[in-house]
Amino acid sequence: MLRPRSKLESNRLGVAMIMPALILMLLLLIYPLIQGISYSFTSYRFNRPNATAFIGFSNYVDIITSDHKFYSTLGFTFLNALGAVLISYAAGFAIALLLNKKLHGRGLFRAVILLPWVISSSVTATNWQWMLNDRHGIVNAFLEKIGAVEDPVLFLANPTLAKFTVIIVGAWKCLPFMTVVILAGLQSISPDLYEAASIDGAGFWRSLKNITLPGIRGVTTMCTTLQFIWNFNNFENIYLLTSGGPNESTFTLPIYIYFTAFARNKIAYASAMAVLVMVIMMVFALIRFRLQRNAEE
């Protein structure tokens, strides 16, 4: 049936269909990426472009051997991503369990849960700043009214608390995704399994442990690894909320790179850090791939 000529002809159509997208990506994404990687081997600074020289791996050596801030920032980037994922997974799981019941207005509940996900970080960040404001915010007003605190809590101005706040807001942003994806996972579990378990006398917790959790194992792996990578790589959320402050206490790697490149003009050094982040991300992607394959088996 496959005549060589018609196959060749149709393949030509396929290549033609892909071309616009391919050319756009090569020009606008791949070319800049290669340029970014090549910056990292130079001494390029935005304010002194003429003094640029090829310096090999010097930037990388500097970062790895003597940049303490890189390591401490890496630590918080990791902690932030992990914390946000754990909190949002636990909360998302609980909400998904509730939504999985046969309730009226389930679609409406799901829509309202989705809100934080479809709204820009510029909006959500300012909303949180307003809510957590020390003089006019409703959170402090509430805490003072019930007598939990005497002075306003400085959620964003106290370095230790700010870290905590940033993680909570990150979890809040991931929550819609977690809830909807886990709910989809729950709905794929056959109700017969629960019925059989309840006939065998299994209670809520035993069904949860023996049916629900194994049933959504694949979904769990997928959504936690995906959100971990997303949080690790995210810039806007924290930058708009705290600008990395106070006192750089909520610096994550994307914010550190941003300031190094655009405030201190060290384009080459920042690019080298971005390449290192890419390497870390590739390791994560590899782990994710492995985990997902295991979950599928």
Query: Which residues ranging from 87 to 146 are in contact with other proteins (CB under 8 A)?
Result: 95, 98-99, 101, 103, 107, 109-124, 126-131, 133, 135-138, 141
Nearer to other proteins, 83 or 260 (CB): 260
Of 25-33, 60-68, 149-157, 158-166: span binding other proteins (CB under 8 A) = 25-33
Examine residue 171 and tell whether it contacts other proteins (CB under 8 A). Answer: no
CA 192, CA 207: separation in Å to the nearest integer? 12
User: Within 10 A of 114 (CB to CB), how many other CB atoms are there?
Assistant: 15
Write out the binding residues for other proteins, residues 212-231 only, by CB under 8 A: 222-223, 226
**Residue ranges in 172-211 that form contacts with other proteins under rule CB under 8 A:** 172, 175-177, 180-181, 184
Instruction: Specify the residue, 71 or 130, whose C-beta has the smaller distance to other proteins.
Output: 130
**Helix crossing, 106-118 with 159-187: angle to 10°?**
140
Which residues 235-254 are close enough to bind other proteins by CB under 8 A?
A: 235-236, 239-240, 253-254
- Nearest to other proteins of 68, 145 (CB atom): 145
Residues in the chain: 297
Q: How far is the CB of 22 from other proteins (least distance, A)?
A: 7
Nearest to 137 by CA among 126, 147, 148, 146: 126
Q: Which 33-52 positions form the footprint of other proteins (CB under 8 A)? A: 33, 35-37, 39, 46
CB 221 within 8 A of CB 231: no
Nearest CB to other proteins, comparing residues 63 and 223: 223
Q: How far apart are the first and last CA of the chain?
A: 37
Helices (H), ranges, 156-263: 159-187, 191-199, 204-207, 213-215, 217-233, 236-242, 253-262
Q: Cβ of residue 210: shortest distance to other proteins, in angstroms?
A: 20
Output the smallest distance, CB 216 to other proteins, in A. Answer: 13
Nearest to 182 by CA among 139, 226, 140: 226
Alpha carbon distance 245, 252 (integer Å):
10
Which tokens in the block code for residue 197?
């378990």
Joined tokens for residue 55: 């310096």
Please list every residue from 263 through 292 that binds other proteins, using CB under 8 A: 267, 270-271, 273-275, 277-278, 281-282, 285
Q: What is the rounded distance in angstroms from the CA atom of residue 82 to the CA atom of residue 236?
A: 18
DSSP-derived 3-state class of residue 297: coil
Q: Which residues pair with 71 in a beta bridge?
A: none
- Residues 51-90 touching other proteins, rule: CB under 8 A, are none
Task: Please state the closest distance from residue 166 (CB atom) to other proteins, in A.
Answer: 14
The nearest distance, CB 96 to other proteins, in angstroms, is 11
Q: How far is the CB of 265 from other proteins (least distance, A)?
A: 11
Binding residues for other proteins, rule CB under 8 A, total: 89
Least distance CB 133 / other proteins (angstroms) = 8
CB of 20 to other proteins, least distance (A): 5
In the complex with other proteins, the residue whose CB is nearer, 24 or 213, is 24
CA angle 2, 7, 10 (to 5 degrees): 140
